[in-house]
């Protein structure tokens, strides 16, 4: 199963270990190699999704106003979802 990770966050975390002044040369090379591997990995075509429980069209009673569905699960999702804005 594919796991999506934030590559920029991983590289940023690796940079915290990259002490070029006091660090061991081999360790620094390893950090740089890891960063290069992360950068060269293909980027997944993924977008964040909105679950029914967080959707503005979910009425709180497990019903969807868009699809006129009377039975949804809180963890379901669809292409018409819009984030419920807090007022």
Q: Would the pTM count as exceeding 0.85?
A: no
pLDDT in tens, 15-74: 888 777 777 888 889 999 999 999 999 888 777 788 888 888 888 788 888 888 778 888
pLDDT confidence of residue 1: 58
Q: With the CA atoms of 69, 74, 79 and 85 taken in that order, what torsion angle do they form, in degrees rounded to the nearest 10?
A: 110
Structure tokens, 46: 């993924």
């Amino acid at each position: 199963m594919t796991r999506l990770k934030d590559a920029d966050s991983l590289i940023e975390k690796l940079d915290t270990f990259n002490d070029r002044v006091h660090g061991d040369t081999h360790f620094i090379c390893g950090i740089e190699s890891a960063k290069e591997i992360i950068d060269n990995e293909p980027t997944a075509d993924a977008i964040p999704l909105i679950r029914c429980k967080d959707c503005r069209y979910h009425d709180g009673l497990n019903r969807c106003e868009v699809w006129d569905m009377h039975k949804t699960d809180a963890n379901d999702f669809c292409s018409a979802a819009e984030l419920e804005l807090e007022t």
